[in-house]
A and B are shown apart, each in its own frame.
Chain A
């Protein structure tokens, strides 16, 4: 009984500390509580695990690049072939590349929750998934277990479905937790619900009502980026990928409440991070007519290089950059075959 009351008292102190901007907790009469309050005070500054891991892999990448600079060559003389349409069949201009573990279980989730259809799966020698592709509606999600270089990075995805209530219920059955059930009160005017899956991805499940379909109709799968200084993402995407902002809603003080951005034949959405919807730096696969040009433009617009353009064995001209928000963009041009 006494212990329980200490738990309650402690939480009152913690609650007061978290909601106020006061640097210090009130002096507690109980010395045990005072000790714990001081621990709590320090924990307010506890670094995010995701940040620690992301910075580490960032530094590893930097370190490996600085090793390679002496021998690396630019590929300026090598023009990419453009014999075929630049997008790999079955993919659009923008596809979320979700790296979570175990990827095989995530694929089961996609099948159970969203009626996803597995189109390909490439195992790595150790049995993990190097690369896989699951179609959902008229879009797709690419999946991998990742590795040191491409670490786990769940993301947020906006999914258009015919029956958001039924889909929402299936996600919960498949292990997701609810942010909120589908409601007609969402500012978009769509019927809209939100869940988090067991792998950390957010899913915004909606049926279109108010939203204007994007180029070539409505895409089932759209990456949704919650960003700090979201307004700066628009010029970056314009410069790097020739993107076009299709609808930008700003608050009176200039924060992006919502924006839809087109690249090629697909769209993604951004907003200013808020509440539970904080930045989740993720991986995105973007098909462009000229990988080398997009790569150079992205670096010019402030991105850092992950991978210089190369002809990948699977038939793409491929490169990788990381934007200022920590999102990785796998830039690709389909070369055929």
Chain B
């Protein structure tokens, strides 16, 4: 008998394993970075820790998902390639990655400006970013929300992904899940209420 969602759980497993919520601080982070410098396979740990942060940063500064994915991918590939040159001087690894991201965004904006001079579209910001201030808190907030989606009950998580990532209609999601449209709207509400509550919990 073929069941409905055989592969889903395992697919999402990576996101479910632990909450790499906070940046590892000080000595811990140094150990992780040095481990990855010694063995590139250990870069995976850094990726798990920083993916949402980098993606949130990039996505908040480009217009579309495809570009956000391209640039996020570029950041981690560069991070991996340049890892040997990262020196521990108390600069958090996250800041180092976000600097790579900021450069990638600026380069992308320059390329886009050359290729498509579209007067109606204001260019994406080609100025250095303030990586310390209130904007960083907003990025951390977004990254944390992305991580929390992975912790939602399975069906709520699925509604969130189908609605917000795949941008399916309520009717379509209802059909796919075998539920009524009203039930899907309730699941959407509960998912967002859960996320909001946990964000508050995390801050309180």
Residues of A with Cβ closer than 8 Å to B?
A: 3-4, 6-8, 10-11, 14-15, 18, 35-36, 39-40, 42-53, 55-56, 58-60, 62-64, 66-67, 100-102, 105, 108-109, 112, 152, 154, 174-175, 177, 198-200, 228, 276, 278
> Once bound together, how far apart are the Cα atoms of A50 and B14, in whole Å?
11
Q: Which of A36, A53, A108, A278 is the one whose CB lies under 8 Å from B192?
A: A36
24 contacts between A and B (CB under 8 A): A3-B186, A4-B186, A11-B185, A15-B170, A36-B192, A39-B192, A40-B164, A42-B145, A43-B145, A43-B192, A55-B72, A56-B48, A59-B80, A60-B44, A62-B40, A62-B80, A67-B40, A105-B2, A105-B3, A152-B11, A175-B3, A175-B4, A200-B7, A228-B66
Contact of B10 with A by CB under 8 A:
yes
**Contact B65 A48, beta carbon cutoff 8 Å:** yes
Instruction: Known A18-B167, A45-B56; judge A56-B11 contact (CB<8 A).
Output: no
Instruction: Known A43-B164, A56-B44, A67-B40; judge A36-B196 contact (CB<8 A).
Output: yes
Which residues, 1 to 57 on B, are CB-close (under 8 Å) to A? 2-7, 10-12, 14-15, 39-41, 43-44, 47-48, 51-52, 55-56
**Contact A101 B185, beta carbon cutoff 8 Å:** no
Contact of B149 with A by CB under 8 A:
yes
Instruction: Known A46-B161, A55-B73; judge A36-B193 contact (CB<8 A).
Output: yes
Nearest Cβ distance between residue B164 and chain A, in whole angstroms? 4
**Contact B163 A14, beta carbon cutoff 8 Å:** yes
Contact of B165 with A by CB under 8 A:
yes
B residues less than 8 Å from A45 (CB atoms): 56, 59-60, 68, 142
Tell me the nearest residue of chain B to A45, going by C-beta. B59
Nearest Cβ distance between residue B83 and chain A, in whole angstroms? 10
Interface size class of B (residues with CB under 8 A): 35 or more
Contact of B123 with A by CB under 8 A:
no
**Contact B11 A49, beta carbon cutoff 8 Å:** yes
**Taking each of B66, B72, B193, which has the highest tally of chain A beta carbons within 10 Å of its own beta carbon?**
B193
A residues less than 8 Å from B185 (CB atoms): 7-8, 10-11
Nearest Cβ distance between residue A129 and chain B, in whole angstroms? 13
B residues less than 8 Å from A101 (CB atoms): 6-7, 10
Nearest Cβ distance between residue B8 and chain A, in whole angstroms? 8
**Contact B2 A47, beta carbon cutoff 8 Å:** no
4 additional A-B residue pairs with CB within 8 Å, beyond A56-B44, A228-B66:
A43-B164, A45-B59, A63-B40, A175-B2
**Contact A100 B44, beta carbon cutoff 8 Å:** no
A residues less than 8 Å from B76 (CB atoms): 55, 59
Q: Mark B152-172, 1 if CB is under 8 A from A, else 0.
A: 000000001101111110100
Residues of B with Cβ closer than 8 Å to A?
A: 2-7, 10-12, 14-15, 39-41, 43-44, 47-48, 51-52, 55-56, 59-60, 65-66, 68-69, 72-73, 76-77, 80, 141-142, 145-146, 149, 160-161, 163-168, 170, 175-176, 182, 185-186, 188-189, 192-193, 195-196, 199
> Once bound together, how far apart are the Cα atoms of A69 and B69, in whole Å?
27
Nearest Cβ distance between residue A184 and chain B, in whole angstroms? 23
* Interface residues of chain B: helix, strand, loop or mixed (majority): helix
A residues less than 8 Å from B60 (CB atoms): 45
A residues less than 8 Å from B39 (CB atoms): 67
B residues less than 8 Å from A276 (CB atoms): 168
**Contact B14 A198, beta carbon cutoff 8 Å:** no
Tell me the nearest residue of chain B to A108, going by C-beta. B2
**Contact A49 B7, beta carbon cutoff 8 Å:** no
**Contact B6 A47, beta carbon cutoff 8 Å:** no
> Once bound together, how far apart are the Cα atoms of A11 and B189, in whole Å?
8
**Contact A39 B196, beta carbon cutoff 8 Å:** yes
> Once bound together, how far apart are the Cα atoms of A50 and B141, in whole Å?
22
Q: Which of A35, A63, A109, A198 is the one whose CB lies under 8 Å from B5?
A: A198
**Contact B7 A199, beta carbon cutoff 8 Å:** yes
